[in-house]
């Protein structure tokens, strides 16, 4: 009889005649990863209990007991003294069980008009809203750091590349501002995603709503949600808000990864455009001379796992019939790891951007390799009346001659240049300088130093 009773108590309820095996228990439990939702679970429960009391569904005394018990649980968790039990499956049941131990029946009444289905959806949204706010702040810091770097190097010239071949000279400030734009769109995506994250599922209960006279708007207001989810089935089942976040996060990492690729190339001694402060690099266990750009390399690598998490969540969702299914428990680890990876990466990059030393001489020397001002020469001829295609051809001949002689376009004499087009005059030499080339691209979005400065002013005004 005793054995029977204890067996039953390990199972879900009187509905079950035997407990799950240890393996199944471990397989189905989520407490070891979802316990990080504890603070949000408690926030959600307190808002729910407050509403239940306000509506007369539980007593004022019950509410006070719940508040007292939750305060105790919060301090136990903060002190690392809370005992998380695998037997209690997840964060929700662990906290509820402890609450009941501490305050008795009031703890058992907390779950009135609620299900773990709307509870967990609420917890994740609260968690993700916080994470989005952190990430948005970090994107801002990174943009500010890159903007500072752009300002220091508004006039520094490096070769711009297409196909990894020298294309046209650009300013380093302009190059940095390209990333400022990318991270700006990432911040917009985060802000937009936040709108859809910030809606309250509680009240949906298991899937169909509840028979109790609840006040969902009150709970939404207490928790700072902008609105309530409008359909109970949808509220407990869809995780599109998390998928959307992971997509935005994957784009953040994609931008970080592209930047990383450039930093790695630029720091190679073969290129030598930049140096990265020692605290972001490591050495080699065998080659004493090495200083490796580990941080950008790792960030490039970690982009893969974030992309993977996006696919994991999309795949998790695609086969689920309405409404809640246990599949959804698998949303957490990918989501948590995405948040951790993006947060750490942005924090490090915002710091690292301030630890980049630019080597303008190396950039300048590289800009002289590859006939970076050839387009300027063609444009010059067009301005003198030659159709662009003819100008393109004339300059191609000039470049060919330079390749044969092993010199730059600017090294050709006026007579040499006039062999390719008699429209060339003395004023051509300004056009062939790197400074002349970048300064001439003087329109919104162009690389001219004064456009870089104007763009910096716009970004600063936007970031406040």
- Report how far residue 408's alpha carbon sits from residue 372's, in angstroms, rounded to the nearest whole number: 9
Q: How many residues does the chain have?
A: 464
Q: What is the DSSP letter of 87?
A: G
Q: Which is nearer to ligand ARG, 14 or 164 (CB)?
A: 14
> Considering the rule CB under 6 A, would residue 259 count as an interface residue with ligand ARG?
no
Q: How far is the CB of 124 from ligand ARG (least distance, A)?
A: 8
Q: Which is nearer to ligand ARG, 329 or 338 (CB)?
A: 329
> Considering the rule CB under 6 A, would residue 238 count as an interface residue with ligand ARG?
no
Q: How far is CA 444 from CA 85, 186, 371, 450, 454, in A?
A: 60, 21, 25, 10, 9
Rg (CA), the chain: 31
Kindly report the backbone phi and psi dihedral angles of residue 148, in degrees, each rounded to the nearest multiple of 5, phi listed first.
Answer: -60, -45
User: Which residue of 163, 230, 270, 326 would you call a contact of ligand ARG, by CB under 6 A?
Assistant: 326
Q: What is the dihedral of CA 31, 36, 42, 48, to 10 degrees?
A: -80
DSSP count for the chain of H helices, then E strands:
21, 6
Contact 435, 364 (CB under 8 A): no
Nearest to 367 by CA among 178, 165, 173: 165
- Report how far residue 174's alpha carbon sits from residue 272's, in angstroms, rounded to the nearest whole number: 19
Catalytic residues: 163, 284
Q: How far is the CB of 120 from ligand ARG (least distance, A)?
A: 4
Residue 282, classed as helix, strand or coil, is strand
> Considering the rule CB under 6 A, would residue 307 count as an interface residue with ligand ARG?
no
Q: How far is the CB of 146 from ligand ARG (least distance, A)?
A: 38
Q: Which is nearer to ligand ARG, 270 or 318 (CB)?
A: 318
Q: How far is the CB of 28 from ligand ARG (least distance, A)?
A: 8
**115-123, 134-142, 345-353, 354-362 -> range binding ligand ARG (CB under 6 A):** 115-123
Residue 239: Cβ-neighbour burial (10 angstroms; 0-12, 13-18, 19+): buried
> Considering the rule CB under 6 A, would residue 128 count as an interface residue with ligand ARG?
no
- Report how far residue 43's alpha carbon sits from residue 401's, in angstroms, rounded to the nearest whole number: 74
User: Which residue of 120, 263, 367, 374 would you call a contact of ligand ARG, by CB under 6 A?
Assistant: 120
Q: Which is nearer to ligand ARG, 114 or 116 (CB)?
A: 116
Task: Tell me the two tokens of residue 203.
Answer: 């009240």
> Considering the rule CB under 6 A, would residue 328 count as an interface residue with ligand ARG?
yes
- Report how far residue 145's alpha carbon sits from residue 349's, in angstroms, rounded to the nearest whole number: 9
Q: How far is the CB of 336 from ligand ARG (least distance, A)?
A: 12
Q: What is the dihedral of CA 265, 268, 269, 270, to 10 degrees?
A: -40
Task: Tell me the two tokens of residue 78.
Answer: 């903060």
Q: How far is the CB of 325 from ligand ARG (least distance, A)?
A: 9
> Considering the rule CB under 6 A, would residue 125 count as an interface residue with ligand ARG?
no
> Considering the rule CB under 6 A, would residue 345 count as an interface residue with ligand ARG?
no
> Considering the rule CB under 6 A, would residue 232 count as an interface residue with ligand ARG?
no
> Considering the rule CB under 6 A, would residue 122 count as an interface residue with ligand ARG?
no
**4-12, 322-330, 356-364, 369-377 -> range binding ligand ARG (CB under 6 A):** 322-330
> Considering the rule CB under 6 A, would residue 235 count as an interface residue with ligand ARG?
no
Nearest to 459 by CA among 135, 138, 140, 137: 140
Q: Which residue's entry shows tokens 């209690």?
A: 88
> Considering the rule CB under 6 A, would residue 210 count as an interface residue with ligand ARG?
no
Q: Which is nearer to ligand ARG, 280 or 336 (CB)?
A: 336
> Considering the rule CB under 6 A, would residue 318 count as an interface residue with ligand ARG?
no
Kindly report the backbone phi and psi dihedral angles of residue 386, in degrees, each rounded to the nearest multiple of 5, phi listed first.
Answer: -80, 135
Q: Which is nearer to ligand ARG, 12 or 388 (CB)?
A: 12
**38-46, 112-120, 141-149, 176-184 -> range binding ligand ARG (CB under 6 A):** 112-120
User: Which residue of 48, 98, 109, 116 would you call a contact of ligand ARG, by CB under 6 A?
Assistant: 116
> Considering the rule CB under 6 A, would residue 123 count as an interface residue with ligand ARG?
no
Nearest to 65 by CA among 49, 77, 51: 49
Q: How far is the CB of 315 from ligand ARG (least distance, A)?
A: 16
Task: Tell me the two tokens of residue 236.
Answer: 């407990």
Contact 332, 124 (CB under 8 A): yes
Q: How far is the CB of 178 from ligand ARG (least distance, A)?
A: 40
Task: Tell me the two tokens of residue 289.
Answer: 């001379």
Residue 419, classed as helix, strand or coil, is coil
Q: Which residue's entry shows tokens 């439990």?
A: 29
Q: How far is the CB of 453 from ligand ARG (least distance, A)?
A: 51
User: Which residue of 43, 45, 94, 117 would you call a contact of ligand ARG, by CB under 6 A?
Assistant: 117
> Considering the rule CB under 6 A, would residue 147 count as an interface residue with ligand ARG?
no
Kindly report the backbone phi and psi dihedral angles of residue 169, in degrees, each rounded to the nearest multiple of 5, phi listed first.
Answer: -70, 145
**7-15, 278-286, 325-333, 340-348 -> range binding ligand ARG (CB under 6 A):** 325-333
User: Which residue of 156, 198, 237, 329 would you call a contact of ligand ARG, by CB under 6 A?
Assistant: 329
> Considering the rule CB under 6 A, would residue 90 count as an interface residue with ligand ARG?
yes
Residue 372, classed as helix, strand or coil, is coil
Which residues in the 30-59 window bind ligand ARG by CB under 6 A? 30, 34
Residues lying near ligand ARG in the complex (CB under 6 A) are found at 30, 34, 90, 116-117, 120, 324, 326, 328-329
């Amino acid at each position: 009889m005793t054995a029977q009773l204890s067996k039953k108590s390990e199972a879900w309820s009187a509905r079950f005649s035997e407990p799950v095996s240890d393996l199944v228990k471990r397989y189905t439990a989520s407490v070891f990863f979802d316990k990080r939702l504890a603070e949000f679970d408690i926030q959600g429960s307190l808002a729910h209990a407050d509403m239940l009391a306000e509506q007369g569904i539980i007593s004022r005394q019950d509410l006070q007991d719940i508040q007292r018990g939750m305060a105790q649980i919060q301090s136990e968790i903060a002190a690392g003294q809370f005992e998380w039990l695998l037997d209690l499956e997840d964060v929700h049941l662990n906290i509820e069980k402890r609450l009941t131990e501490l305050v008795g029946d009031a703890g058992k009444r907390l779950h009135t008009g609620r299900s773990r289905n709307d509870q967990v959806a609420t917890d994740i949204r609260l968690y993700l809203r916080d994470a989005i706010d952190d990430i948005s702040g970090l994107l801002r810091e990174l943009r500010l750091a890159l903007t500072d770097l752009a300002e220091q190097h508004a006039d520094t010239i490096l070769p711009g590349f297409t196909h990894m071949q020298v294309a046209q000279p650009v300013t380093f400030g302009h190059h940095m501002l390209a990333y400022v734009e990318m991270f700006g769109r990432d911040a917009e995506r985060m802000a937009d995603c936040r709108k859809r994250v910030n809606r309250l599922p509680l009240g949906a209960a298991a899937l169909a709503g509840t028979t109790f006279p609840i006040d969902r708007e009150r709970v939404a207001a207490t928790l700072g949600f902008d609105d309530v989810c409008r359909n109970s089935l949808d509220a407990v089942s869809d995780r599109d808000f998390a998928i959307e976040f992971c997509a935005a996060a994957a784009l953040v990492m994609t931008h970080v990864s592209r930047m990383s690729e450039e930093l790695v190339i630029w720091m190679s001694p073969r290129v030598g455009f930049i140096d990265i402060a020692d605290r972001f690099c490591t050495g080699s266990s065998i080659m004493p001379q090495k200083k490796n750009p580990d941080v950008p390399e790792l960030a490039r690598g970690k982009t893969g796992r974030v992309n993977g998490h996006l696919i994991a969540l999309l795949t998790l969702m695609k086969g689920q019939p309405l409404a809640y299914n246990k599949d959804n428990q698998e949303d957490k680890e990918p989501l948590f790891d995405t948040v951790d990876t993006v947060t750490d990466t942005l924090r490090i990059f915002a710091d690292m951007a301030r630890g980049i030393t630019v080597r303008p001489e190396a950039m300048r020397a590289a800009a002289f390799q590859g006939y970076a001002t050839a387009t300027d020469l063609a444009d010059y001829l067009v301005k003198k009346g030659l159709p662009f295609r003819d100008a393109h051809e004339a300059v191609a001949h000039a470049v060919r001659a330079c390749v044969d002689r092993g010199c730059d376009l600017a090294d050709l004499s006026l007579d040499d240049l006039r062999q390719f087009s008699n429209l060339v005059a003395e004023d051509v030499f300004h056009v062939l300088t790197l400074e002349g080339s970048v300064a001439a691209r003087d329109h919104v979005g162009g690389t001219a130093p004064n456009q870089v400065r104007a763009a910096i002013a716009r970004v600063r005004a936007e970031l406040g």
